[in-house]
């Protein structure tokens, strides 16, 4: 049987570029080579695409890629040959990859791809929009205020302190991996935190600090999707919150507990509201929902990630593995879901006979 041609797309114009490379390496190491022929499509930090032989830096050592935008016969071109792919596995984290932009490109090309579509990706990536949508459905989120860059000078420390008390959190609206996130405990930290968040985005979020345990729930599938048990991130005393450094640079920063040591009722609540958020934000195939659990068992949704990390320390594949689905099987399931969905979408016609 002919192998299915899979393009793993990684890198991207994002502050999470390096995390994407780590995720792509893990996918490459674990994908079933008896079923899939893999091509590595890398995007450098300037947004240029390359066909690479291995996942290494610098990406520019690969062959430059062009894209033929022909929905009837889409392909990539590396200056010497046509590269036709059956499905794309985008493992892009953050802006210009997890936000619907690449998904829109692939949809235009009529190529099957793993993960949420344009709407689900964009809605989930924008923390402000996602919180407003979840809030409208009475899902529990932390109290927040949103600001645009042109409003920067009008943001008042005294107002924020009065609304949320101390401490409070400041973060960019469209980023992940805790980049640009600050926990403000005193007025002297306020301006620096505002500047840092606006350095990465034109929109920022200021929200109440939830004093609770950090847990994550993995979702897999579309019709009757699987919700995993909750896994807990237990930080060392050296960190106030799960920062970028704690997540990726300090191996002693945190312990991951799967399952989290919580009652069945709390686990059930986490699963229930995670599935509700997944459906509400029009997600598909996979997502990781990040939540807080207070000492009294009250649960809050922090955010939802439509292309969660696939590194060797990432929570998403670890949670799915706990549910009995190994890394290689998980990758295969995601690829087959994408292909099946593409076949289903082909039943929809774009032709309409009119009298015009």
Q: Indicate the class that CATH gives domain 143-208.
A: alpha beta
Q: What is the pLDDT of residue 242?
A: 62
Cα of 66 vs its chain's centroid, Å? 26
Q: What is the CATH number of domain 4-113?
A: 3.40.50.20
pLDDT surpasses 60 at 177 = no
Quick one: pLDDT at residue 348?
A: 63
Sheet containing strand 144-148, strands side by side: 144-148, 203-208, 168-172, 182-184
Task: Write the pLDDT tens digit of every residue in 282-293.
Answer: 999 999 999 999
* pLDDT in the model for residue 308: 95
Q: Give this prediction's pTM.
A: 0.91
Cβ contact 52:40 at 8 Å:
yes
Q: Where are the domains of the chain?
A: 4-113, 143-208, 211-337
Instruction: For the chain, give the number of residues.
Output: 356
pLDDT at 269 over 90: yes
- pLDDT, residue 237, reads 66
Tokens 């674990």 sit on residue:
30
Average confidence score pLDDT of the chain: 91
Which structure tokens are listed for 160? 């924020």
Query: How many beta carbons lie within 10 A of that of residue 29, not counting itself?
Result: 11
> Residues 184, 185, 191, 194: what is their CA dihedral angle, to the nearest 10 degrees?
10
Q: Which of 65-69, 105-109, 239-243, 262-266 has the lowest mean pLDDT?
A: 239-243
**% pLDDT > 70, the chain:** 92
Tokens of 249: 């640079």
Can you name the CATH fold of 211-337? D-amino Acid Aminotransferase; Chain A, domain 1 (3.30.470)
- Please list, in sequence order, all residues whose beta carbon lies within 8 angstroms of the beta carbon of residue 140, skipping any fewer than 6 positions away: 273, 298, 299, 300, 301
The total of other beta-carbon atoms located within 10 Å of residue 27's CB is 24
Average pLDDT over residues 120-148: 96
pLDDT at 36: 98
Is the Cβ–Cβ distance between 92 and 28 less than 8 Å?
no
Number of neighbours of residue 240 by Cβ within 10 angstroms: 13
In eight-state DSSP terms, residue 30 is H
Using alpha carbons, select from 134, 133, 102 the residue that is nearest to residue 117.
102
Q: Report strand pairing: 168-172 vs 203-208.
A: antiparallel
What is d(CA 253, CA 236) in angstroms, rounded to the nearest whole number?
5
Q: Which residue has the tokens 């600090």?
A: 209
């Amino acid at each position: 049987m002919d192998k299915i041609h899979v393009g793993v797309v990684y890198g991207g114009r994002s502050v999470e570029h390096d995390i994407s490379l780590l995720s792509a390496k893990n996918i490459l190491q674990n994908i079933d080579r008896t079923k899939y022929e893999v091509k590595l499509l890398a995007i450098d930090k300037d947004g240029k695409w390359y066909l690479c032989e291995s996942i290494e830096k610098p990406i520019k050592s690969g062959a430059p890629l062009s894209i033929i935008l022909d929905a009837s016969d889409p392909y990539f071109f590396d200056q010497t040959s046509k590269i036709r792919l059956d499905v794309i596995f985008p493992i892009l984290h953050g802006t210009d990859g997890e936000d619907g932009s690449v998904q829109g490109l692939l949809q235009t090309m009529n190529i099957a791809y793993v993960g949420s579509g344009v709407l689900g990706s964009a809605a989930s990536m924008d923390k402000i929009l996602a919180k407003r949508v979840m809030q409208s459905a009475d899902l529990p989120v932390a109290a927040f205020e949103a600001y645009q860059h042109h409003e920067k000078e009008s943001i008042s420390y005294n107002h924020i302190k009065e609304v949320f008390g101390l401490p409070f959190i400041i973060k960019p609206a469209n980023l992940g991996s805790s980049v640009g996130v600050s926990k403000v405990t005193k007025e002297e930290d306020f301006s620096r935190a505002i500047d840092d968040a606006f350095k990465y985005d034109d929109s920022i979020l200021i929200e109440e600090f939830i004093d609770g345990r950090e847990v994550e729930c993995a979702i897999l599938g579309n019709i009757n999707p699987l919700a995993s048990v909750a896994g807990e991130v237990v930080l060392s005393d050296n960190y106030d919150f799960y920062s970028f450094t704690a997540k990726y640079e300090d191996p002693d920063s945190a312990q991951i507990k799967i399952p989290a040591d919580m009652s069945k009722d709390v686990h059930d609540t986490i699963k229930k509201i995670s599935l509700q958020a997944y459906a509400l934000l029009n997600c598909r195939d996979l997502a990781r929902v990040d939540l807080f659990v207070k000492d009294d068992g009250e649960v809050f949704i922090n955010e939802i990630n439509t292309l969660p990390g696939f590194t060797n320390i990432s929570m998403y594949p670890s949670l799915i593995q706990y549910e009995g689905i190994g890394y290689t099987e998980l990758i295969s399931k995601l690829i087959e879901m994408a292909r099946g969905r593409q076949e289903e979408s082909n039943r929809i016609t774009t032709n309409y006979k009119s009298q015009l």
